[in-house]
């Protein structure tokens, strides 16, 4: 990877990770509302789904930020983003929900780029040659 690719990959990875870290923090500080929203969508065991979501968003976000196991984390986030879009954002009559649906698919696309190309040189994976 050349210097431009390393810089662009690092910036892109950081921008993608911040989205999930902030979402995880928001959910962690608003447990009752988040659990109620999950429950309203008919998800079984909403408290468990909540805990797993917060763990993925915070833990995975931090791993992606530092570029550790970035391919695996990115693949998990791609799947999570697609599943979230299909469960929570399919009211296409509501323009906001349509935008959220498309945002999730776009995030999944970005994560697939990380999965395919790795974390870049400015990462733990890059230093380990992963």
Number of domains the chain is built from:
1
CA angle, 57 then 58 then 64, to 5°: 80
Question: How big is the chain by its Cα radius of gyration, in Å?
Answer: 16
Q: Is the pLDDT of residue 130 over 80?
A: no
Domain of 112 in residue numbering reads as: 3-128
Q: What is the pLDDT of residues 12-21, one digit of tens each?
A: 999 999 999 9
Chain centre to alpha carbon of residue 66: 14
CA–CA distance, 83 with 105 (Å, rounded to integer): 10
pLDDT-wise least confident of 2-6, 25-29, 51-55, 73-77: 2-6
**What is the average pLDDT score of the chain?**
96
Q: Model confidence over 75-109: pLDDT tens digits?
A: 999 999 999 999 999 999 999 999 999 999 999 99
Neighbours of 12 (CB within 10 A): 15
- Residues 78 and 121: their CA atoms lie apart, in Å, by 22
């Amino acid at each position: 990877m050349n210097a431009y690719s390393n810089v662009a990959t690092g910036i892109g990875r950081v921008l993608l990770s911040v989205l999930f870290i902030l979402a995880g923090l928001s959910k962690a500080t608003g447990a009752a509302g988040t659990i109620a929203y999950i429950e309203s969508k008919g998800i079984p065991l909403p408290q468990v789904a909540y805990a797993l979501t917060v763990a993925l968003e915070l833990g995975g976000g931090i791993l992606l930020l530092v570029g550790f196991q970035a391919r695996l984390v990115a693949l998990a986030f791609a799947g999570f983003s697609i599943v979230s879009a299909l469960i929570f954002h399919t009211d296409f009559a509501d323009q906001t929900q349509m935008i959220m649906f498309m945002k999730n698919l776009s995030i999944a696309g970005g994560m697939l780029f990380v999965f395919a190309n790795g974390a870049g040189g400015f990462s733990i994976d890059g230093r380990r040659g992963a």
